[in-house]
Amino acid sequence: MNAEGIFVLISTVVYLVGYVIVHCYAQDMRDATPATREEAIKRCKGKRKLIVTIMRQSGNEERAFEVSSFDQAEREILATFRRARIDEHYMRILGDGRIEYRRMFHCHKGRHEGRKIGGAIISFA
């Protein structure tokens, strides 16, 4: 196999891997819809316990705790975001009904990149 053939083979593999990654990300975004605070409050109405999970940028769980109302859950999430110096975030409703808060921009600073807070998920107990 000559150099041109190897280049075509590598280019094809890179293209296919990129396509699969973009397709998976797009599917994840289709399953989630942007949400307003009012929509989130409606979803939490009548629930006795809410479970708040604080997530790192790497996707690992930082900590999880139970609260009794949406207001209390939102207060804890926003306090965590303030401590982590996350000024901009958004909320969306996932396909299974959970409510997710995510930081607007991924932080790439320093060696602690994956250990920084990336978002929070409110699920129902």
Domain membership of residue 22 as a residue range: 1-30
Question: Do 69 and 111 belong to one domain?
Answer: yes
Structure tokens at 5: 């053939």
What is the full per-residue pLDDT of the chain (125 aa) written as tens digits? 688 888 888 888 888 777 766 655 545 555 566 778 888 888 888 888 999 999 988 788 889 999 998 899 999 999 999 998 888 888 888 878 888 998 887 666 666 565 688 899 999 87
Please give the DSSP secondary-structure letter assigned to residue 94: -
Taking the alpha carbons of 89, 109, 14, 7 in that order, is the dihedral positive or negative? Answer: positive
Q: For residues 50 and 109, state if they share a domain.
A: yes
Residue 74 sits in the same domain as residue 48: yes
